[in-house]
Each structure stands twice: as structure tokens, then as C-alpha cells.
Structure 1
Amino acid sequence: MPVVEQSVVIARPASEVWSFVTVAENWPSWEASTVECEQLTDGELGVGTRWRGVTRILGRRLDWVTEFVEYEPLKVATSKSVESKVGFTATTRLEEIDGGTLFTYRVDSESGLGGIFGKLADPIVAKAYSRTVQASLDNLADLLTIDS
């Protein structure tokens, strides 16, 4: 199972980072592979909330729906794909540190990426996606600290 995990320090309090990253519509503004993202269920984010989105990985379009299976405000949110060609779990984790917030984003995906690229391509796809995730996290840090 390919795993991509990257972190960045954001010079903002965890509450501000959390408030931004837990709004589905904000994801395309910072996460480079996210083309579309919206919350499907009504109400506040929590376990059972569903998001729908479109991700582009190495030029391939992946439509998905996820459901949050873990939600601890200001600390961690984990969603699992419930509709997608590729099974995956995505976790965002925040930790208050000196100088701001350590933000970690982790994606665990099925081996072979559901046949989209094939099992032999897993290491190449994971490496490319890891670079994209790190660039996205750097973009998030810049976006949230522009006005500070």
C-alpha cells in the first residue's frame, strides 16, 4: 500500500489552520492535485461527513467521495474513500509547536492505485505525488502567513 506523508510548519495558531483546512471548498486553493472539493452533507464537519472531489495525479482524473471516520477538532481528521476507482485514506494532523503549527498530511492508497497506473508504477507515482504534496503544504503555509 503506497503511503505519502509530508509535513510543514505554519506560522499560525492551530485554530486558524484548522478553520481553513476543514472547509472543503478551500482545498483547491492550496492542494495542487485537488481540482474540485465540496461538502455533500449538511452541518458541521464530523464523523460521517462526506466530501466529493476531483483529484488529478500525473494527468489522470480521479473522482471520489470520502467519509470522515475520525474527527478530533484542532488535532486530527481522517477520511476514507467510499466512492472512487482507488481506495484511499487521508489524514490531516495538527500539532501546536513553538512558532506555529506542525501540519501533517498523509495519504494511504491501495496498491496499484486501482489499476490506473498499475502496481509496478507505485513507487514512481508515490514519489511524484509526494513532491506534489510537499509543494502543496508549502503553498498552504505561504497562503496562511501572507497577512501575518
Structure 2
Amino acid sequence: MVNVQTEMVINRPRAEVAEYAANPDNAPQWYANIHRAQRLTDGPVGPGTRVAFTAKFLGRELNYTYEFVEYVPGERLVMRTAQGPFPMQTTYTWTDDDGGTRMTLGNSGSPSGFSRLAGLFMAPLMRRENRKDLQKLKSILEADPHNRPGTA
């Protein structure tokens, strides 16, 4: 079992951080390893929303689909995937933090086809990648909003 929690304070209002991060169309801008995100369901983001992602991890290209299982705008988003070599749950939480927003990015899952040792190796790697992703999100959101990717 892999369970990784990473958090960072972003100096922007919680509603702004949560809205940007929860929009799957923005994922390729701030996730270093995600190259493509395609919504498979219509309508606003919420429970039941499905998104196909293409990412690179450990030198391999992975295609997987996440389903939003819980979404409380501005507070919490839980996405889950069941297929593939690494069933995963990703959780975002947002809380106020001294005028900014503390965003927590959590990943948990049980790698199938991997040894327990591989799971131990993957946790620090995932933590490092999550930290880079949150740093990228922070730099995007703290930059001039008129130059921000993924906004109209």
C-alpha cells in the first residue's frame, strides 16, 4: 500500500486555488507528468465526472481514467481509478491559511503486479513528484492572472 500526503501554501484565495486545481482541463499545465486530460462526461465537474489522462511515470506512458467520487467545491475532491497496474485514489483538500490556501494532495493505492518493495520505493518518488506539481501550481496561481494558462 502506498499512501502519500503533500501540502503547500499558495498565496491566493481558497476559491480560486480550488477552482483551478479541480478543473481537469488544467491538469496538464501543473502536473509535470500529465500530458493530456480529456473529459469523458459532459456537464459541470462533480461526482460521476470521468476524465481520461495520459501521463508518463517511471519512463512509461500510462493511460488511465479517473472518476470523481466526491466533490465539495472549495473544500475537497476525491478521484479514483480502478483499472491499470496501479489502482489509485487522489484527494485534494483546500483550507484557509493566513490569507492564502493550504492545498493537500494525497495519493493512496495498492500496486498490483508490483512487489511490496516497489511500493516502498514509489512513495518517496511520488512525494517528490507531488511537491514539484504543487510548486508548479503555486507559481501559476501566484503569477499575473492575465498570463495564467487555462483561464479565459
Aligned to 2:134: 137
Please, which runs of 5 or more residues in structure 1 have no aligned partner?
A: none
Superposed displacement of residue 18, structure 1: 1.5
Tell me the number of residue pairs that the alignment of Structure 1 and Structure 2 aligns: 145
Aligned to 1:18: 18
Aligned to 1:120: 117
Distance in 2 (alpha carbons) for counterparts of 1:68 and 1:85: 19
Aligned to 2:144, the other structure's residue is in SS state coil
8 A Cα contact 2:8 2:102, kept in partner: yes
Following TM superposition, the consecutive aligned residue runs of length 4 or more in structure 1 with deviations greater than 2 angstroms are 82-85
1:5-53 deviations in Å (ceiling 9; x for gaps)? 1001000001111221122121111111222212210000111111110
Give the alignment's TM-score, normalised by structure 2.
0.89
Please report the RMSD computed on the Cα atoms of aligned residues, expressed in angstroms: 1.4
Identity level (%): 32
Distance in 1 (alpha carbons) for counterparts of 2:39 and 2:78: 15
1:56-76 deviations in Å (ceiling 9; x for gaps)? 222122211111111111100
- The equivalences for 1:69-88 within 5 A come to 69-88=69-88
Distance in 2 (alpha carbons) for counterparts of 1:35 and 1:119: 28
Aligned partner letter, 1:144: L
8 A Cα contact 1:78 1:89, kept in partner: yes
Aligned to 2:3: 3
Superposed displacement of residue 108, structure 1: 0.4
Please, which runs of 5 or more residues in structure 2 have no aligned partner?
A: 146-152
Distance in 2 (alpha carbons) for counterparts of 1:34 and 1:119: 25
1:96 partnered with 2:92 = no
Distance in 2 (alpha carbons) for counterparts of 1:84 and 1:23: 23
Distance in 1 (alpha carbons) for counterparts of 2:61 and 2:117: 19
